[in-house]
Structures are given as structure tokens and as C-alpha cells.
Amino acid sequence: MVGDNRGNIATLDTAWHDPLYAGCVKIAVLASGSGTILDAMVKEGIEISLVLVDRPCGAEKLAAGHKIALSRCYRTDFSARFDRTGYSARVARELEESGIELIAMAGYGTVLELPVHQAFPGRILNTHPSLLPAFAGWHAVRDALAYGVRVTGCTVHLATLAVDAGPILAQEAVRIEIGDTEEILHERIKQVERVLYPATLSRFAAFVAAGAQGDFFEFQRDSSEAIPKVAEAAIDEGRES
């Protein structure tokens, strides 16, 4: 449950507009890779209560470096016989026992099933390297280049059982330049993601801490004004380096 410092805010329906209120919510980051998104979140001042990983990865070292509690909820089976539902129940139990209220998927390599979504309905955020609903799936950057579109981007959305299909919280466009390779374009999208995702997480955590007053579209509308447009700045910085 959200801490007693809720009472310091005059009205719940306006409290979530203050990102500092996000500190009331216990956030877990689920990771499988290097942990660059986790690192970006911490550097933006977001308080992370737990890092959960499904395999040995760089995020473990980052969690230790930032003195964040770590749960090694390793998968032992990567075959077609993998008990995804059983594993998801294990993850849900780990998160609930740690008092987690909000989850940020950060390059987590295991698609989770119903037990996690039942335990945290509307409380799981994810990011995707395209402007959803365009180019859903594992090869979004490759597909955007193959179709010849001139603009793609980054989407932060609520995760649902249907992969890459949840409500959109924030998006930022990224231009596709002539001559872009999949690697070059993906890195430019990641530059945007490392700013957009922490900013959106902070706002949504405050939204949750305030009792989720107001509807989803109110959050989306107000956050579009509060979350800075980062694509051009990130691209320009990359060109100058």
C-alpha cells in the first residue's frame, strides 16, 4: 500500500501532477540485459525498490552498484516446454512479497503470463522501439527499415497479456535517415528511450500514488505537456559527439 505521506497532499486528484509524489510507490524494474534503462531511471532520481532478473546479466551489477535489492528469479528452462504460467506465478509472488506496487519492464526477456497481470492490473509499464501500434513484435526496428517509413520512434505503454497492445502512455518520434542500419537506428531510438521512459515512469508512479484519480486520457494529455520532447535533442547530441 502507498505510504502515509499521502496525507501531505491536499487533494488526491491533483497530487499526481507532482512527480516528487512518485516516491510513495514501491517500483520494481524487471531486466535481462545490460541495465542501461535501469541506470537511466536511477540517474533521473527515481527510487527503485527492487530489481528482478530472469538470468545472469549486467543489470545485477548495476543494482548492486546503486544499492538496490536484487531478486534472481532465474529461468531454468528456455525450451518449448517452459512452464511460463508457473514461472509467472513465481515472479508475481516475489514482487508481492517485496511490497511492489508498480513494475517497469526494462529489456526483460521473458513474456509473462496471467498471474503477474492479475496481481498488478494496469501497473506494468513497458517500452517498445516503434510508434505503436505500428511495428509490434520483436523486430520493430528491422521492420520499419524494411517498409521504408521515414519516421519511427519509441512508445511507453501499459503491458497487457497481448504483447505490445496495451494503452499508450507516451510516444516520441525519431527520424529515419538515409543510410541508417538497424544498429544505428536502434541506438538513436535508445537515446530517446533513456529519457522518455524514466520521465513517463515518474509521472505514472505519481499518478498511482495519488490513487489514480482522473481517467487514463487525462494522464496522457497532461503528461504530454510535462514530459519533455527529447528526440531532437538526443539526435543532435549524438551527431555532435
Amino acid at 88: S
Q: Which residues pair with 29 in a beta bridge?
A: 51, 104
Nearest to 23 by CA among 62, 52, 49, 51: 49
From 117, 128, 157, 186, active-site residue? 128
Residues 6+ apart with CB under 8 A from 43: none
Q: Do residues 152 and 141 lie in contact, with contact meaning Cβ atoms separated by under 8 Å?
A: yes
Active site residue 157: no
Q: What is the DSSP letter of 44?
A: T
Nine-digit cell string for 46: 527515481
Report the alpha-carbon distance of residue 186 to residue 17 in Å, rounded: 31
Q: What is the DSSP string of 131-154?
A: STTTT-STTHHHHHHHHT-SEEEE
Closest-CA residue to 155 (of 138, 168, 140, 137)? 168
Beta bridge partners of 175: 151
Residues with catalytic annotation? 128
